[in-house]
Structure 1
Amino acid sequence: MAKISVSLQVAFCCFFLISYSYSLPSNEIIVQNALKEDSHSIYQCPDPTALATPALCTFRIKESGKFLQRITKTINCPDTGINTVKLGCIIVRDNMDDDKGGFATIREGGVGTFAVTVYLKSQLNQGLDYNVQIFTVNSNATTGKP
């Protein structure tokens, strides 16, 4: 009798969760999908008005997929030399509109540091298609000089 009671509780719990998931308002589902789509890109730009132009680093990464393989790329900015101004904005945009895009992560550094390492990884059998822009903080904006 105890086994039947437990299995009825589990069945009720699962039925409740399934029926609740279908009763979500449509705007919450749209928000969840938008977050899922944005998981392929990085946008860290606390103050877009205080950036130096042109960008410190600009990369276009485009590589076709390979059968039963994942494509990986590591991007270092600056790629050569030493940067003496802190980073103010990191934009890593996945250009694949469907759900086949890769995943971007910051491995080292980031906004507020002097360098950054970005790691890109494709999904199985898929390629990479990214635009990467990294800006420094405008030194005039941080020191108050004209």
Structure 2
Amino acid sequence: MAEWQTRPIGRTGVEVTTFGLGTATLGGNRVPISQDTAKAVVRAAWDSGVRYFDTAPFYGLGFSERRVGDALRAEDRAAWVLSTKVGRLLRPRSKTGPREDGWLTQMPFEVEYDYSHDGIMRSVEDSLQRLGLARI
């Protein structure tokens, strides 16, 4: 495993590796990606010393968060940092058929933008559930 340098995030006491893994593609952005490939990508990053992972509800409309959570859940939670985004709530999608937003996902959701206090709190709670984690 490589030893990546770390950098502090402001005065939070949290440090992240200088190289992280962004996981938009794990949500199937214009190119399908299997569960096995998604896990292998996260595993390769982990094995190379990456300890900062970034995801979002928007990436695959929840699919990326589920995959990242599945891949990292068994690792020591104190050993890695995860970030996600807020303000995009996922609502059941009424349309069927191909998506027009570029996501190749089986997740039956559409995005509702809500940057209010309640929307942000809901966004965090929903992400925790999709990730299967107790904290972000």
TM-score, structure 2 as length reference = 0.29
Q: Which has the larger strand fraction?
A: 1
The structure that has the greater radius of gyration is: 1
Q: Which has the larger helix fraction?
A: 2
Q: Which has the higher contact order (CA 8 A, sep 6+)?
A: 1
TM-score, structure 1 as length reference = 0.27
